[in-house]
Chain A
Amino acid sequence: MITVSGWADTVLVCIVLTSFVLLGSSRLGACIRVVAFQGVLLGFLTLAARQDDPSLRAPILALVSTGLKGVAFPWLLFRALRDANVRREVEPFVGYGLSMLIGTSFLAGSLWLAGRLPLPSPTISPLVVPVALFTMLVGLFLIVSRRKALTQVLGYLVLENAIYAFGVGLVEGTPMVVELGVLLDLFVAVFVMGIAVFHINREFDHIDADRLSALRDWAG
């Protein structure tokens, strides 16, 4: 039988794997699906972390977050992708191989850093902090290293996922209304960003964020 920690460990390792898939995949559609899958994994993590909590809090949160991250966000993003009618490739500034290599160094760095952080209370799994740190770094890296506005949204989502994982794994007793508020904000953020991606496409005939460079202080 697998223990509490066992479940949580499995989910966390899967999150690391999804992050690596994101770093290496070239299709936008695949990236959206992977981020959605990561959202579903987080739902499982919520359940695994709060197994001994008798109230309905954990199941409700898990359900809402899975619904948003696993269903609603991919739907919004796929719609933006279809409306935008762009080339379905990620077009990175940093190649896929190098991205993977950088990802590996992120993982090593996170493990090293997490080993040095003094944790006050026992967590559901010793992997929570390193995995959360690693996923955050991957999210930030995706934002700066990919050209399309849509991939930047995905990077932002990965960053949010990481922070959420940190919260679930380490912090107990955040009031539910705050957690739901965070999710609501995230939903509106993705909604607004989706609209912005659509407009960027209509205005420029592409969704390459790097060509958004008209605003500057000195011409040249």
Chain B
Amino acid sequence: MIPSLLLIPAVGGVLAYFVRRAGPRRALLVLAAVAHAGMTAATWRVEPAPAWGGWLELDALGRMFLTITSALFLAAALYGVAYLREEGHGERRDVEEGFLFDNAPEATFTACLLLFLAAMTLVTVSQGFGLLWVAVEATTLASAPLIYFHRHHRSLEATWKYLLICSVGIALALLGNFFLAVAASGHGGASVRLVLPDLIARAPGLRIVWLKAAFLLFLVGYGTKMGLAPLHTWLPDAHSEAPSVVSALLSGALLNCALLGIVRVQQVCAAAGQAAFGQGLLVGFGLLSMAVAAVFILGQADYKRMLAYSSVEHMGILTLGIGLGGGGTFGGMLHAVNHSFTKAMMFLVAGNILTRYRSKSTEEVRGVLRALPASGMLWAIGLFAITGSPPFGPFLSELTILKAALDQGRAGVAIAYLILLAVIFVGMATAILGMAQGVPRDARMTARAREPLLRVVPAAALAAVVLLLGVYIPPAVRTALEDAARALG
């Protein structure tokens, strides 16, 4: 089962590159997404057998992240069909500077999209640290061409920053792998395999100094990819310049994959009795990320950049949750789920707004509720969901994290957390409500536009999931998250 989860998107991606006609290629994209989602759903019923000598195995945490990735990809694929139909080919005018540019060939785009899914799937099923590293680097390489879909200088700049910063960051994580191997090298010659269950079982025998150094390198390495401040500099550029459907996947699925890398090392640290070492660092990085995001969200003139900084904020929130430990870890994990669905939904809607208004400026876009009723509605819903208002999922997870901070008597952390959340709420509400309400500046926009179903339904479905998670967490999901929280100490 695990091999087929990997092979469906990988083979689909290679095929997509060679299919010449657009129709069948888009059908292939959707077909692969549906098949992958179906297989993923099946893993909740039938425990997939470990493959490849224990290197590939789907544990509770991996399955959680795999499910998020697969669900988001399905939504993105459906949306992508409509997106490519409208924007796929031909010369077009740049929305900011007005020059003409071309898009990358659609075949390359579709192929990279599917290979990206394959790489992310590999991240979620890897139990070996080496393989995990290979998979995370593969996600960078598969997604770089996606960011450079619109072929102009800004997206090229974003792609270059993304490639270089993430590659260098991830190179440090490779060094972390080697440090971990040194930590695991036995006193009498027999080394522990760098596979998660083996490492956890023999954690007390690890060399603590090297383990701590390895954790630091992993945190910096994967933290770069995850967008933790001050290593987040690539993130706003990449998210704002990539096509919205790609931004949704980057923010909703890719950041989680990097998070998984950090969580895996923290699992080993916790088993070795060093949980506190990592937790202190995670709390610091978490609060710093929230603070940096708050500064840049206030007065942000570009709504896609605003969403990108909001991703930095939420990565900070869930890092903080994991750093607090106990109930906070549960909250952090739940928040990863909530954030993924909410943010992917918002990026998809942002894509609709961008297509209609041809502007990324929060100032120029007015009256979305009139011009695009369905998207406008979702945009407003998204605001309340992402800022943690009831009854949506993020409210629950943010509250759990707050409660964990208060239970541990860390009033300073709790106060800073609340203040930052409030500041970000004000910043985002000002921008998003301003966009939703009012009258469009351009008189031609006042007429309602026809909104293609495929550009609204995926986002609406994601919004429904976010709402559902706010009122009811399925028992299977709750158990999976609790297991994950226990493993992290």
Contact = CB atoms under 8 A, between A and B. Distances in A.
B364 interface: no
Interface string A26-40: 000000000000000
A192 B185 CA distance: 35
A215 B154 contact: yes
Contacts of B160: 149, 196, 200, 209, 212
- The secondary-structure label for the interface of chain A is helix
B207 A120 contact: yes
Contacts of A8: none
Contacts of A200: 156, 160
Interface stretch (B173-181, B314-322, B398-406): B173-181
Contacts of B151: 199
B158 interface: yes
- The secondary-structure label for the interface of chain B is helix
Nearest to B129: A178
Interface string A52-84: 000000000000000000000000000000000
Contacts of A159: 168, 171
A160 interface: yes
Contacts of A4: none
A99 interface: no
Interface string B76-95: 00000000000000000000
Contacts of A172: 185, 191
Interface in B131-184: 131, 133-134, 137-138, 140-141, 144-145, 148, 151-154, 156-161, 163-164, 167-168, 171, 174-175, 178, 181-182
A196 B174 contact: no
Interface residues of A, number: 43
Interface string A186-209: 001100110010011001100001
Nearest to B195: A175
B167 A189 contact: yes
Interface in B176-219: 178, 181-182, 185, 187, 191, 194, 207, 209-210
Contact of B174 (A119, A163, A199): A163
B164 A156 contact: yes
A193 B133 CA distance: 19
A179 B171 CA distance: 14
Contacts of B168: 140, 143, 156, 159
Given A149-B160, A217-B236, 4 more contacts: A120-B207, A121-B185, A199-B148, A215-B241
6 cross-chain pairs, A with B, having the tightest CB-CB distances, nearest first: A178-B130, A181-B134, A212-B157, A171-B181, A185-B137, A215-B237
